[in-house]
Amino acid sequence: MDAKTDGLVKHDEEKAYKGYTLFSTMYGNTAYLIDMKGKLVHKWNMKNRVGPYGRLLPNGNLLWLGRGEEAIKEFLGCATELVEVDWDGNEVWRYDDKLLNHDFSRLPNGNTIINRYVEIPEKIAKKIKGGIKGTEQFGKIYSCCFQEITYEGEIIWEWKHYEHLDTDTDILCPLCTRSIWGHSNALDVLPNGNILFTLRHLNTIGILDKKSGDIIWRWGPENYLGHMHNPTVLDNGNILLFDNGWHRLVREGDTEEIAEEEYSRVIEVDPNTNKVVWDYHDRPGYFYSTCCGGAQRLPNGNTLITESIKGRFFEVTPDKEIVWEYINEYPRKLEPYWIYDEQMTLETFRAYRYGINSEEIKKYLKK
């Protein structure tokens, strides 16, 4: 075991939610599980690098979205495989698709909701407004598609985003490329089977009715979101969201402009009133991640936040007090198509906390 604890910045034992934190450094191929002191208690060394994260299942296995050599590097968050391994790293299930994208959800019945890229038909693509002119991908515009697959890999349900968006009103951010319309970087399956999802480049989150295919709730642009990530539905029905703040608009008189001061925030929205009922932010520049990011509401009411770019994970109380903080101490080399030298990164897509008595780990770790 690796006993390093250099990454721990703060730990209030009385107020922090006791458990183990799972994370992976972007461009690496390892999933790390640490305790509250920052000590490494387990790790999984995977064949392919993370693309972009893994999550523990109730049976204790790791479900890993991996990125193989055949990945199309131009697609953000693109992966080529969804692999389930046991505690010892033995593969027990896999699904291959070189257009997998960002997120997934294993359902109670053993099926899995996946997210993948799909090309938009030309007759629709040519009507799409906004974005930076001439930045289509391979001369085309893509969208995202949710699919439900069985454990045997059969596709039994599909929902293509572009079939439910409006080219006149769903206008791309003027500072983003035209390669992807909408761009879903996250999904969360609700207890009734409906799906909460993001449209990052439209600064919108929505809920789709899985049976009808209709988008039954939308929220975002009028609240000046900045290319958000990781919406989840809480036990009280509210929605928790990591709002990156990148390209956020602000109103100046009768006009809207890109904000000069950029900062991230975590917000809780009541979908019944469309009002923000709780938020966490810090002074501009101190808490800020242009991309990725996560927010997990813990059973004690605290919130675990992933400030992705810095590889910083911290837990805050409802009163916004930081009671646990850790800086990723497992850097990885940046890939050559992002940067052309030997710089390293601590970037982490999302971190997850699992309680000391949780189903995910209690079979393997003692209290």
In a 13 Å sphere around the CA of 212, the CA atoms on its Cβ side amount to 6
CATH code of the region 8-355? 2.120.10.30
**C-alpha to C-alpha distance for 120 and 116, rounded to whole angstroms:** 13
- Position with higher pLDDT, 58 vs 260: 58
**C-alpha to C-alpha distance for 189 and 339, rounded to whole angstroms:** 36
For the stretch 197-236, pLDDT in tens is 999 999 999 999 999 999 999 998 888 898 999 999 999 9
Taking CB atoms within 8 Å and a gap of at least 24, the contacts of 361-365 are 361/20, 361/33, 361/56, 361/60, 363/60, 363/87, 364/42, 364/60, 364/87, 365/20, 365/41, 365/42
Residue 51 one-letter amino acid? G
Q: Taking a C-beta distance cutoff of 8 angstroms, is the pair 325, 34 a contact?
A: no
Q: What is the pTM of this model?
A: 0.93
Instruction: Fill in the DSSP letter of residue 202.
Output: G
**C-alpha to C-alpha distance for 207 and 201, rounded to whole angstroms:** 17
pLDDT of residue 338: 46
**C-alpha to C-alpha distance for 243 and 231, rounded to whole angstroms:** 9
Above pLDDT 70, what percent of the chain? 92
**C-alpha to C-alpha distance for 349 and 51, rounded to whole angstroms:** 9
For the stretch 128-181, pLDDT in tens is 999 999 999 889 999 999 999 999 999 999 999 999 999 999 999 988 999 999
**C-alpha to C-alpha distance for 276 and 279, rounded to whole angstroms:** 7
Above pLDDT 90, what percent of the chain? 79
Task: Kindly state the average pLDDT of the residues 257-273.
Answer: 87
